[in-house]
Structure 1
Amino acid sequence: MPNAKKKRQAKNEDFKKKKLKVGKKKALPDNYTDTTFRSKSIALPNQSITEDKSRFATTSRNLTLNDVLSQLKHYNAGVRKDAISGLEELYRSHPTLITASLGQVVNGILKLLIDDDRDVRKALLGFLQETFPSIKKADIQPFLPLLIIYTCSAMSHIFEDIRNDAVKLMDLWVSLAPEVVVSRFWNRVVGIYMSLLSVSSTNDHAGSSIAGGSKITNAESAKAAAAKSHLHLHKSKLGPVESLSRFLQAGLAQRDQDKLWFLDAFLDHVQAKEGFRRKIEQFKSCSTQNLVRWDTKKTTTCQITHPKLVSYAPYLSNSALPTLNLFESAGPKNANNKETDEVLGMDSNEDGKMRVKLLIETFQPVLLSTWLDAAPTVFATSSTITLTPALQLLSAVLHLTLVLWRALVSSDELHSVDDAWIEKHCHHLLKHFVVYFPYGADVLGDGGPKANALLRQMNIETCELTSLYMLAKLARGGKESLDHLEWVDKVVDHVLGLLGYEEERTSSNFKEDDLSALLPAVWGFLNGLDRKNQYTMFKTFMDYYQRCHAHSGLKRTALEFLIGTYLVQSSPSYNGRFVLDDRYRTLMNNWIFGLPKTLWQLKTSHPETSAVIVNFLCEAAKRSDQDIFEKKSLEATELALVPFFYVNIASKGELFGPFIDLPKETQQRALEFVYYVDSGSAKVANAIEACKKRK
């Protein structure tokens, strides 16, 4: 027994607390090490407020660029936000400093793209939106792949607010360098957008189930809860849909920045398309850039502009290369290079892009579900339609659908789809779109100018989408299935109404941008309707042109469309169904006869429009009576051009027209028109002689 008691005491010895006596210190353990030290002063280098920083660019807080960059990594969110403000201040006062140190700045802000603090991300987005657009693209381009990779990481983040801010960053990169994002990150970015929209759709169902399972005390609280839930869901979807639309437009649209981008899609060959584009550009400017002044004593620079240069010398015809790829050819090619490209998300060639057909099949279910969810909340009312996130979301869905179908109809990929596929993916979608068409027509109240403009834009885009559907059906031989579609007639009637069919004046709400957006639909219907309706559509547009004021932008836009319609048909590669044949001879001859009057009305207030008219007259005169314009019409047009030069009225005396005040290039082209017509009119000759004496 005594031995057992001793063993228990030995076990508890380590856990036994020793009693301390008053006045005696606790005994130190045997392995104690003294760590105390004494010092008379403590030195903190680089922390003195008296440090001389006069040689460096500093902020108002006396911080240099290195100081600001070091604070970007601070643990406190407020310090990181102040550091971004310091970068903005340095850029405003010393912009070259940020440009020269762009590599350090980019490395400092990369991790802030996925920062947990919302204010830090908001400040960073503001800094990038303010500074990067003003920096040369050549300086930013080496760092864009890294920025895009981090942005893609942020777009797939677990937190919704970080994903939403990353979408805004992707919009910035697409606007700055669309060729980099499209050519090197197409598949990766498209996949991320698809997952973003899928997550939003999942949240829609989750939000609906939560709202349905919660206890609502009365009808008013139920309406408030439902409205709040739908508002959040529409806002969360709006950003990704609009951003995806801009991204796809940058990758699929070829010439959307030009008002007549849709015309060259009806030309067979690349050379014909390139020649048509150059012809349109020459019409808009009467410069003598194609003339080379030879000087044997100096080096003469000549740029060849022939369309076949694209096929003969594809590399020399490009004025600027997006990337030089200096380091890719420095070593041997091996499998590691391919792995690196896959890690960076780079597509090695254009074949890596998703086909437009696959894009339509991928995004249509999401677009359709979004439309069916938001449309009743907007259009199921007869009072007022205001500018809400739901209305903006519907507009974004419609525009995204239009971008996809524009790309399909204008490409050779249309021949790879059959009539059943078009019915499933376009007709099925259009049936739901036109349920409320024309949008806002049955509303009694006024929702404001912004809401009205958005509704007008949605109506125009629906008209163009309908015309694309008709062109796709006709391309696949499905004309007989279009005759029984009443909603197609409703859309065509709406286009005629916008152009003032059987009306004497135009609507004041219809702006120049609206007409530019309507032109693709007009051209689509001209090629998709039967001969009778083709003539009605063209005559209505011609009447609309005649009613427009000479100084308005509507007049110039309509004029450019009519000229483009004439020029595109002069190409042997034209494959459209709409042809200016003998049925339109009277309309076209009356139109060209009125152009001198427009020139006189413009005077010198719009020299660009005057140049377009004179260029067209010269082009028509070169072809003489071998075209739709008759010889007598050209001679009458030349005679009507006399007031443009000079006229002598008995009651007012000598009056000189705008010819003498226009640019020399425009004057030269006007004289060329007289030379090509060669009518021998004495009135025209006397008017030109009077202008020569005046000079």
Structure 2
Amino acid sequence: MPPATKRKKEKEADFKKAKLKLGKGKKVPTNATNTSFKARSIALPGQQPLERAAIQQDPSSNFASTSAGAEPLTSSGLDLDEVLIRLRHPNAGVRRDSLGGVKEILKIRSGVEVGRVMRALGGMVADDDASVRKGLLGLLDWYFSITPEASYSSIKTVSLVPHLPLFLLLTSSALSHIFPEIRLDAARLVSLLLQHVPRHITAGWPASAPSASGEAGATSTSGSTILEGLRLALGLGGDKASSAQGRLTAGGKLVFLKAVLAFVTQALEGGSDSAATESMWEGWLDEGNSASNKGAVLEVSEHGLAFDGTNEGWVVESGSWAVNTAATSGWELGRLDAGGSTAESGENGSGTMNLFVQLHPLLLSTFLESAPSAFSPTSTSAPTAASTETHIELCVVTATLTSVLAKHIITAAAPASEKDTGIVRARISDFLKRLSPYFPFSGASLTTGSSALSAGMELNLAYARLAALLAPQPVPLAYGQNATERRKDTAWKARVRSVEASWATVRAETDRRKGKGKGRAVDGWAMAEVAAWLTDILTPSQDMLSPPITTSTFSALLPIMWTLITQPPPPSSTEEDEENIPEMVGTALLAFIARQNASSALRGLGDDFVIRLVRTHEQSYPTLPFFIHMSSKLRAAVRGWIDGVPKALWDIGARDERATERLLRWLLDMGMRGAGGGAEEGCSLLDVKTYPSISARLAPFFHLAHPTRGSTMGPWTKLPEGRVRRLGLDVAAVWGEWDTEGRLGEAVKLAQAGIQ
């Protein structure tokens, strides 16, 4: 055989299939690899955590983790050190899963290694993976809300607070990150922190002094640093600002503006819903100078009223009702603030003013860009619904942020300069002119919102607050210094003369701003629109589908109505077509209160408003001007409310103890004046001539002699034994002065006998 043919057959031998013969098996290959080996064990990475997890899940195991002092583990058997190491893993999925492991450990023991946990989580604020950052926000939201801040638990005051400065530094650094997605998530983190630890986020702004709380970790620059980062991210820092602001989408701009609004609201108003309601009384009502301290003729002893407390009851907190009769001989000018201001030293308003000036162009342009889409008739269609909701929220945020900043500048304890106030008022007026074509805001797309108020109501409230800020500021009263004039006039006549002089000054300033042209004053059109809107929503609607006024809405409306009611009414010589805004709003409000159920929350808010309104009107030494003219319809409405207090007490009964106590204290305050105690005919809202009828109508509150049902115990007997029941006896004792027919005294005796 030739050599070439032989070599060819040798090469093909490995691929040649041998033919099998009948009855013979297949030959074993000579080149096969032997795989018959055994191994004692296989080493796998992470085997120890798996063993710990298996032992921990075994209920029959005596593993040390079942003891109270053992180190907490995850369901995979990882301890805290191993979980924190995995937070720095190059794989995003491992980092995201490790966040769940941190939560597992913190659920077992929330106070474990808080410093290490906060440092590790702070390093992930600028993580380059979106899913990791989303998981971090969820974990932090849960971690900060484990214990409410109001309880001042050990987590909040001992463990967590010392580590917040470093965490805030990392957050502010993320606000200036090169990637816009990381900046957006950092803004979301700021909003989250403002919900749980607001005092440490806003510390140092707008003033440069340390926080009033004095707590550890509340640095004096954290607020300025965070706000500076938000400002730069919005492109408001000049050369230092991010150039990406112009490329922000509507959703991204909304995230940043929401964070700025939450920051400013917490820093200036403390984030309290009742802050605006309580601030409306500042400067108007001196709680220490109530109606009961004006010329009372009742003898008040050191230990209470001059009647037998054993039989009639006890005077609740009688020390606060002490009457200084010597004070009625003249005006206490020393108690009055000549400047009408309660300025606190050291407050710095320049930070708020600078922020307002920088934000105004952005807020105005954002509203102008969003309004056409937000209020378009076709905005409710499915393809544009999501985009419309974003534009509506942008309109709400811009209007609300403008009103919060402007209110603080104009009504701050340390008044801004006249130049700054003029700038703010001009920009408010400019903003209102852009909003006015859409006011009042209503429509199907505005019926929902992120808070207790709908989006349309939030926009209406923001518009009304801005219009109220343009109202003329009240001029403090200046009482006559002539001794002969003081002796000649009564206290009420001198007060009315001072009020009229103050109103004349306000009208002159308004005319000066108005210029030579006639018509409504500058920006007065906005107040008139708000007054008409308030009257419309307080009036019963014939539309059954119109939404009712909620408690949240009514609470937000009260400060606006207070501003309008306390404005100077038009003079008697004015044109007939000029609206009397105080009378129009006040009568609509009193009619709305009268229609409410006596035990409803709306009636309670309204009663408290009217009580404070009357007390402001009846002060002996008021600081700011307020007076309801004798011919005003509002005076008749207020007197009608006063006459209806006994009926309201009967209707409320024991169903709402707080509301009953409010009205009883009001009656006690009225009765402590005594006969002729400062209630001058035609001037005071409290007509003493009607006191006997009120006293007679108070009798059924204790006991009622029904013509058909016979003797019936009144609501007073159903009150729980305590301060409110004793307060009712005090009211009966004080109003006994006008009980000419003896009905009230007899009713009290029968009621006391019935509960014994």
- TM-score w.r.t. length of structure 1: 0.72
SS state at 1:510 partner: coil
Q: Write out aligned runs for 1:266-277 (5 A).
A: 266-267=283-284
- Equivalent in the alignment of 1:248: 264
- One-letter amino acid of the structure 2 residue matched with residue 154 of structure 1: A
- Aligned residues: percent identity? 22
Tell me, in whole angstroms, the C-alpha distance in 2 between the residues paired with 1:163 and 1:260. 35
Tell me, in whole angstroms, the C-alpha distance in 1 between the residues paired with 2:191 and 2:621. 37
| Shift in alpha-carbon separation, 1:188–1:634, aligned structure 2, 3 A | farther
- Equivalent in the alignment of 1:379: 375
1:524 maps onto 2:563 in alignment? yes
- One-letter amino acid of the structure 2 residue matched with residue 362 of structure 1: Q
- Equivalent in the alignment of 2:228: 191
- Equivalent in the alignment of 2:491: none
> How many residues were matched structurally?
558
1:362 maps onto 2:358 in alignment? yes
- The structure 2 residue matched to 1:562, chosen from 596, 606, 610, is 610
SS state at 1:528 partner: coil
CA contact (8 A) 2:316 2:727 kept: no
CA contact (8 A) 1:378 1:391 kept: yes
- Equivalent in the alignment of 1:650: 707
| Shift in alpha-carbon separation, 1:81–1:274, aligned structure 2, 3 A | farther
CA contact (8 A) 2:528 2:581 kept: no
- The structure 1 residue matched to 2:255, chosen from 224, 239, 247, is 239
Cα offset for 1:476?
10
1:639 maps onto 2:696 in alignment? yes
CA contact (8 A) 2:176 2:183 kept: yes
- Equivalent in the alignment of 1:607: 657
Tell me, in whole angstroms, the C-alpha distance in 1 between the residues paired with 2:167 and 2:508. 44
Cα offset for 1:397?
0.7
- One-letter amino acid of the structure 2 residue matched with residue 163 of structure 1: R
Cα offset for 1:132?
1.1
| Shift in alpha-carbon separation, 1:260–1:238, aligned structure 2, 3 A | same
Cα offset for 1:356?
2.8
- Equivalent in the alignment of 1:425: 427
CA contact (8 A) 1:73 1:80 kept: yes
- One-letter amino acid of the structure 2 residue matched with residue 196 of structure 1: A
Tell me, in whole angstroms, the C-alpha distance in 1 between the residues paired with 2:318 and 2:92. 59
- Equivalent in the alignment of 2:90: 75
- Unaligned runs of at least 5 residues, structure 1: 1-39, 208-232, 280-285, 293-348
Cα offset for 1:608?
1.8
- One-letter amino acid of the structure 2 residue matched with residue 512 of structure 1: T
Cα offset for 1:352?
6.7
| Shift in alpha-carbon separation, 1:567–1:653, aligned structure 2, 3 A | same
Tell me, in whole angstroms, the C-alpha distance in 2 between the residues paired with 1:398 and 1:684. 54
CA contact (8 A) 1:377 1:390 kept: yes
| Shift in alpha-carbon separation, 1:493–1:164, aligned structure 2, 3 A | same
SS state at 1:654 partner: strand
| Shift in alpha-carbon separation, 1:572–1:668, aligned structure 2, 3 A | same
- Equivalent in the alignment of 1:331: none
Tell me, in whole angstroms, the C-alpha distance in 2 between the residues paired with 1:505 and 1:262. 35
| Shift in alpha-carbon separation, 1:352–1:589, aligned structure 2, 3 A | closer
- The structure 2 residue matched to 1:483, chosen from 516, 521, 526, is 521
- Equivalent in the alignment of 1:667: 725
| Shift in alpha-carbon separation, 1:264–1:683, aligned structure 2, 3 A | same
- Equivalent in the alignment of 2:131: 119
Q: Write out aligned runs for 1:445-524 (5 A).
A: 448-450=447-449, 453-471=454-472, 477-479=509-511, 481=514, 482-483=520-521, 485-500=524-539, 508-524=547-563
CA contact (8 A) 1:645 1:658 kept: yes
Tell me, in whole angstroms, the C-alpha distance in 1 between the residues paired with 2:546 and 2:49. 70
Q: Write out aligned runs for 1:195-274 (5 A).
A: 195-198=232-235, 205-206=246-247, 233-253=249-269, 256-258=273-275, 260-267=277-284
- One-letter amino acid of the structure 1 residue matched with residue 643 of structure 2: F
Cα offset for 1:287?
13
Cα offset for 1:100?
4.1
Cα offset for 1:48?
6.0
- One-letter amino acid of the structure 1 residue matched with residue 537 of structure 2: L
Tell me, in whole angstroms, the C-alpha distance in 2 between the residues paired with 1:682 and 1:69. 81
- The structure 2 residue matched to 1:623, chosen from 651, 670, 673, is 673
- Equivalent in the alignment of 1:694: 754
Cα deviation digits, residues 42-91 of structure 1 (max 9, x gap): 89899464356623222221222232222222222222222211222223
Q: Write out aligned runs for 1:100-111 (5 A).
A: 100-111=112-123
Cα deviation digits, residues 107-157 of structure 1 (max 9, x gap): 221101111111111111111111212333313222222221111111221
CA contact (8 A) 1:506 1:548 kept: no
Higher helix share: 1
Tell me, in whole angstroms, the C-alpha distance in 2 between the residues paired with 1:371 and 1:577. 37
| Shift in alpha-carbon separation, 1:206–1:174, aligned structure 2, 3 A | closer
Cα offset for 1:275?
9.0
1:146 maps onto 2:166 in alignment? yes
Tell me, in whole angstroms, the C-alpha distance in 2 between the residues paired with 1:156 and 1:194. 10
| Shift in alpha-carbon separation, 1:507–1:589, aligned structure 2, 3 A | farther
CA contact (8 A) 1:527 1:576 kept: no
- Equivalent in the alignment of 1:156: 176
Cα deviation digits, residues 658-695 of structure 1 (max 9, x gap): 21222421112222222222324522112211221122
| Shift in alpha-carbon separation, 1:609–1:563, aligned structure 2, 3 A | same
Q: Cα RMSD (Å) of the superposition?
A: 3.6
Tell me, in whole angstroms, the C-alpha distance in 2 between the residues paired with 1:436 and 1:528. 26
CA contact (8 A) 1:360 1:425 kept: no
- The 10-residue stretch of structure 1 (521-530 or 158-167) with the greater mean CA deviation from structure 2: 521-530
- One-letter amino acid of the structure 1 residue matched with residue 262 of structure 2: R
- One-letter amino acid of the structure 2 residue matched with residue 261 of structure 1: E
Cα deviation digits, residues 594-634 of structure 1 (max 9, x gap): 12212221232222222222222222222344243122333
Tell me, in whole angstroms, the C-alpha distance in 1 between the residues paired with 2:569 and 2:614. 19
- The 10-residue stretch of structure 1 (542-551 or 408-417) with the greater mean CA deviation from structure 2: 408-417
| Shift in alpha-carbon separation, 1:487–1:260, aligned structure 2, 3 A | closer
| Shift in alpha-carbon separation, 1:383–1:236, aligned structure 2, 3 A | closer
- One-letter amino acid of the structure 1 residue matched with residue 434 of structure 2: H
SS state at 2:704 partner: strand
| Shift in alpha-carbon separation, 1:131–1:665, aligned structure 2, 3 A | same
- The 10-residue stretch of structure 1 (411-420 or 657-666) with the greater mean CA deviation from structure 2: 411-420
CA contact (8 A) 1:267 1:573 kept: no
Cα offset for 1:496?
1.3
- Unaligned runs of at least 5 residues, structure 2: 1-40, 53-62, 148-152, 204-219, 294-313, 321-344, 475-505, 515-519, 571-579, 680-684
Cα offset for 1:427?
1.0
- One-letter amino acid of the structure 2 residue matched with residue 599 of structure 1: L
SS state at 2:566 partner: helix
1:539 maps onto 2:601 in alignment? no
SS state at 1:261 partner: helix
CA contact (8 A) 2:176 2:229 kept: yes
- Equivalent in the alignment of 1:332: none
SS state at 1:112 partner: coil
- Equivalent in the alignment of 1:167: 187
| Shift in alpha-carbon separation, 1:250–1:635, aligned structure 2, 3 A | farther
Tell me, in whole angstroms, the C-alpha distance in 2 between the residues paired with 1:672 and 1:125. 56
| Shift in alpha-carbon separation, 1:507–1:605, aligned structure 2, 3 A | farther
Cα deviation digits, residues 314-368 of structure 1 (max 9, x gap): xxxxxxxxxxxxxxxxxxxxxxxxxxxxxxxxxxx97677433222212111111
- One-letter amino acid of the structure 1 residue matched with residue 393 of structure 2: Q
CA contact (8 A) 1:398 1:458 kept: yes
CA contact (8 A) 2:84 2:120 kept: yes
| Shift in alpha-carbon separation, 1:204–1:166, aligned structure 2, 3 A | closer
| Shift in alpha-carbon separation, 1:502–1:573, aligned structure 2, 3 A | farther
